[in-house]
Each structure stands twice: as C-alpha cells, then as structure tokens.
Amino acid sequence: MPDAIAVIPQPADVERTGDEPFVLTEATTVVVDGRPDLIGIAVLAADLLGRVGGRAVEVRYAENSLSSASGVVRLRLVDSLPPGDEAYRVTSRSGRIDLEARTPAGLVRAIVTLRQLIESGPGGVMQVPAVRIQDAPRYQWRGLSVDVARHFVPVRDLKVVIGLMAHYKLNVLHLHLTDDQGWRLHVRSRPLLTRLSSSTSVGGDPGGFYTAEDYADLVAYGAVRGVRIVPEIDVPGHVNAATHAYGELNPTGEPTDEYTGIEVGFSRLHATLPATGPFLADVFSDVAAMTPGEYVHIGGDEVLTMEADEYATLVAAASAAVRAAGKKVVGWQEIAHTPLEPGTVVQYWDTRVDPAPFVAAAQAGALLLMSPGSKAYLDMTYDASTELGLEWAGHIELRDAYDWEPSTLVEGVPAESVIGVEAAVWTETLRDLPALTQMLLPRLAAIAEVAWSAPEQRDWDDFRARVARQAPFWDRLGLSWYASPQVDWTR
Ligand code: TNX
C-alpha cells in the first residue's frame, strides 16, 4: 500500500495513475527549451531536485537532446491549462516527468510540487510516484510579512525564508523595513536614515540594513522563485528611526532619542511641518524605484497620538507619493478610516476592534488582504508553555492557523474583495534565524494551504498527516521548528 500523496498546499486535483514510479538516477536530466527566462528555472529545478534526491541533476536544452531519452524531467510552457499565471501540471511515470505551466512562475510551482513528491523507495532509491496533478491557486496574494526592523534579518537568513515560502507556494514577501527601533533600507535621497538609525534593534541587540545592492539581490532571489517583494515604509506612526535621523521632522527641530523598547504608538510625523511632505515624496519614490513589483506598503497602523484629520492627510500624502511613482498602495487596516482610492489594498490584522470601517472600505472598492492576528500572526505563542513570541492576539496552535476561512472570517466582507491571505511574523522577541523558523514552522505551511487550496480541498486531519511528513525536510535543511503536539511527527 503506497503512502498517500502528501503535497502542501493540497493541490486542486491529484490522481495516482498506477504506473511504475520515476526513479532518480545519475542519468536524471532536466530538459528545457533554451530560452533565457526558462534556463534560470531549469537550473533552479536541477538544484532543488538534486538536493532532495541526493545527487546532482544535469540541465540540457531540448534542441540538443533526444526526446525519448529516459530519466527526463521536461519543463515546458503550454496553453492547455486552466487560466492564471500560476496554474501547472505534473505528470510522472517511469522514465519521464512532465512539468507544464503557462508561465515561468507556474513552472516554479510545478517544481516544488515535484520536490515534495520525492520519496525513498525500495532499497533506498529516491523515486517519484506515478501521478497526474493539475493545480492552480485560490488566491493571487499569498504572503508573509517579516518585521526586519525590531530585529534585523540579514540577507542570507531572508533567503532561507524566501526558499521556505517558495516551497509552500507563497508569492509575496512583505518586508516591514522601518519602525521605531531601526531603519533597514538605504534610501538614496535620505542617507541619514541608515547612517544614523540602522545600528539599533530591540533590547540593544545589533542592527543592520540592506544596501541597494542587497535589496536588488533579494528581489532577484525572490523573482526566480516566484516570490515578489512588497516593501513597507511605515508612516505616519512607527517613525522614531526617521525622527531620530532627521530632526526637521519634529516640531522642536531636534532629533528624537533612539528607541530599543517594544512599546508602540508614541512616534509620529506632523502634517504641518514643511519637511514632512518632501520626506514622504522622496522616500516613497526612491523605494518604489528600487521595487519592480506593483505594490508599496505605507503602513498606517497604531498611530495613537494624532487627530483623525491629520492622520488622513498624511495617509493621503504617502499614498499620492506611491501612486506618483507608478505603484499601487497597500496599508494596514487603520487606513480604512480615511478616504481611499478604489483598488487600494487594506490589510486586516487587529481582531480586537470593530471591523465596520474595514468592511465599508471593501464596499467602496478597496481590496482586502487577510492577516487576522488570532490566526495568521506567527509571532504569537503556540501555547502557554512556549517561550518565544507575544500573546496579545492569543495562542495560535497549528490547528488555529489552519482552520479558518478568509472569506467569512469578518462578517459582511464581500468575498470577491478578498485578494488573499498573508501571515506575519513580528520580531520583538525573535533574535535570530532559529527563533524565526521556530515560529514559522509548521504554521507557515498551514497558512499557505489556507491561501492556495480551495475550501473543499482543505481538511484538518488530512493536513495533519501531510504536515507530519515535512519534518525530515526541515531537519535536512537544519531548520529549527516547533513539534506541535497536535501532529504525530515522522522522525
Ligand atoms: C501589532 S500588526 C503591530 C506591530 C507589532 C505586532 C506584534 C501591526 C500593524 N502592528 O507593530 O509588532 O502587533 O504582534
């Protein structure tokens, strides 16, 4: 009796064909048409399959190889698939695997599916069961927000996170780049932001920042894996790093002190100061120019010391700067209290407050991104005994992160306004990569399935069994993870 197919997120359609499995050997070759946009994907496939399969995999161009050769993993762009950039098909049998998609991004989804299908067979051979999988995502925005401001996350660690995201078919990395405790991205027009405000972190830990080259490197690393970056510059609150670097942003004209605590809501910009408008325009246009993706996040959360009018003025100024740079605006839930252009993405997070303004924003044409604190905030503790994390939205065990429905969670939300689902991990208590992955794994896999798989495909008991089989993969990568007592882990 073969093991069940255990892909996460659960694909739309999986069928075992009953043929013999494909066996990975030293002759296994990835074959692709020699187009520039596909060669990078083929190299990625060879690398990912080689590392899981335990031996190097070669890449060849279709033009130079015999199509009947055995042991071929064929990557191909096709039109005969359901609509959508990320739809894909995997067909495996003895001697040949076909990975088909409409776009390179779809091929990446096929590759990670194939990677999850590799199992050890009789005599320790690495093999892929004979299956036919056809799949496409439910939501177009499947994100993870990482707070690199409270604790800096170096490029090499973020690449591990991007790799995990791609493995679970997440496609948006939202970087919370600025906060009271530090400014993490070099901005050409405002060099003092990183010169004066990047060396701090929560609790006196070391800081850091991304140079323009680092950021471009992250963008490129994500792009090859089908993960795009949405940068967040949080205004008009959470700005102590900015007001520490540029005193002209304060009514006194003097820089504020640096801040390494974890309180929120005290820092702010001032709409009436002459320096504020140019600051917003410069920073958002520079960040937009560094970002190939369509969205820039303006923050907007937890501004506790400002009248509604001034808040609305500053949100409008930040939004105008983003749009002037040709990008679309994303903001936290609080921006729903201000007039918004249709198509603005509003990110739900605070499960403690009345959602009426958020619902009204959707009715007026906003798009909704669902990051409910009580389900998707992966910095919440798992239970009362886990040490890392915060608790303001409650404990989030694996099942809590899995068992919820984005389209009905907030009453009155029009289902068609929901653009997607995003997990978030805030780093007040998370000082390094092991701490970060301990919070992400296994819950990121749960959120990924909520975002990708149709509601009728989702089942907690089935997910429990599938996620158990992810543990050897995390162990092989040397990642720290949380052994939730809700799962019978395969170790
Ligand atoms: C709320 S979520 C915040 C962050 C904190 C987080 C901790 C949001 C928009 N604001 O400033 O880091 O809670 O869970």
Q: Which atom of ligand 1 is nearest to the CA of 349?
A: 2
Instruction: With cut-offs at 50, 70 and 90, classify the pLDDT of residue 1.
Output: very low
Same-domain status, 90 and 157: no
Extract the tokens encoding 163. Answer: 């790799």
Per-residue pLDDT tens digits for 459-485: 999 999 999 999 999 999 999 999 999
Predicted pLDDT at 2: 52
CA 3 – CA 16 distance, rounded (Å): 11
Domain range for 229? 141-476
Contacts of 78 (CB under 8 A, 6+ apart): 89, 100, 101, 102
Same-domain status, 110 and 195: no
Per-residue pLDDT tens digits for 151-209: 999 999 999 999 999 999 999 999 999 999 999 999 999 999 999 999 999 999 999 99
CA 234 – CA 176 distance, rounded (Å): 7
Give the domain-ending residue among 98, 118, 135. 135
Q: Which atom of ligand 1 is nearest to the CA of 334?
A: 9
Per-residue pLDDT tens digits for 249-273: 999 999 999 999 999 999 999 999 9
Cα 299 to middle of ligand 1, angstroms: 11
Among the listed residues 119, 302, 310, 341, the single catalytic one is: 302
Give the domain-ending residue among 120, 135, 150. 135
Per-residue pLDDT tens digits for 396-405: 999 999 999 9
Is any ligand 1 atom within 6 A of the Cβ of residue 397? Answer: no
Contacts of 283 (CB under 8 A, 6+ apart): 187, 189, 190, 193, 233, 321
What's the full length of the chain, in residues? 491
Per-residue pLDDT tens digits for 273-288: 999 999 999 999 999 9
Same-domain status, 267 and 343: yes
For residue 366, being part of any structural domain is answered with: yes
Predicted pLDDT at 68: 57
Predicted pLDDT at 54: 80
Q: Beta partners for 377?
A: 424
For residue 61, being part of any structural domain is answered with: yes
CA atoms within 13 A on the CB side of 365: 6
Report the mean per-residue pLDDT for the chain.
Answer: 95
Same-domain status, 255 and 393: yes
Extract the tokens encoding 417. Answer: 């306004």
For residue 481, being part of any structural domain is answered with: no
Window from 52-61, 402-411, 454-463 with minimum mean pLDDT: 52-61
pLDDT for residue 357 is more than 60:
yes
Give the domain-ending residue among 90, 110, 135. 135
Same-domain status, 282 and 335: yes
Same-domain status, 113 and 172: no
Q: What are the distances in angstroms from CA 89 to CA 58, 81, 112, 376, 454?
A: 22, 8, 12, 29, 17
pTM: 0.97
CA 119 – CA 368 distance, rounded (Å): 39
Closest Cα partner for 484 from 426, 445, 456, 458?
445
Predicted pLDDT at 414: 96
pLDDT for residue 457 is more than 60:
yes
CA 211 – CA 207 distance, rounded (Å): 13
Instruction: With cut-offs at 50, 70 and 90, classify the pLDDT of residue 383.
Output: very high
Three-state secondary structure call for residue 470: coil
pLDDT for residue 426 is more than 60:
yes
For residue 317, what is the domain's CATH number?
3.20.20.80
Same-domain status, 81 and 60: yes
Average pLDDT, integer, range 329-355: 97
Average pLDDT, integer, range 61-77: 81
Cα 373 to middle of ligand 1, angstroms: 9
Q: For a ligand 1 pocket test, name from 148, 347, 426, 443 the mutation site with the most ligand atoms within 8 angstroms of its C-beta.
A: 426
For residue 458, being part of any structural domain is answered with: yes
Give 50-57 contacts, CB < 8 A, sequence gap 24+.
Answer: 52/115, 52/118, 52/126, 52/473, 52/476, 53/24, 53/28, 53/118, 53/126, 54/24, 54/126, 55/24, 55/25, 55/26, 55/28, 57/24, 57/28, 57/29, 57/30
pLDDT for residue 55 is more than 90:
no
pLDDT for residue 66 is more than 80:
no
For residue 52, what is the domain's CATH number?
3.30.379.10
For residue 6, being part of any structural domain is answered with: no
Same-domain status, 213 and 342: yes
Cα 220 to middle of ligand 1, angstroms: 28
Instruction: With cut-offs at 50, 70 and 90, classify the pLDDT of residue 56.
Output: confident
Helices marked H in 198-275 — which ranges? 212-224, 240-245
Identify whether the C-beta of residue 376 lies closer than 8 Å to the C-beta of residue 401. yes
For residue 358, being part of any structural domain is answered with: yes
Contacts of 137 (CB under 8 A, 6+ apart): 84, 86, 169, 451, 452
Cα 168 to middle of ligand 1, angstroms: 24
Does the annotation mark 254 as catalytic?
Answer: no
For residue 482, being part of any structural domain is answered with: no
Indicate the pairing of strand 13-16 with strand 131-135.
antiparallel
Is any ligand 1 atom within 6 A of the Cβ of residue 264? Answer: yes
Same-domain status, 24 and 82: yes
Same-domain status, 111 and 179: no
Q: Which atom of ligand 1 is nearest to the CA of 179?
A: 11
Same-domain status, 317 and 407: yes
Percentage of residues of the chain with pLDDT beyond 70: 98
Nearest residue by C-alpha to atom 5 in ligand 1? 426
For residue 387, being part of any structural domain is answered with: yes
Q: How many domains does the chain have?
A: 2
Three-state secondary structure call for residue 119: strand
Nearest residue by C-alpha to atom 11 in ligand 1? 264
Average pLDDT, integer, range 354-365: 96
Nearest residue by C-alpha to atom 7 in ligand 1? 426
Same-domain status, 119 and 170: no
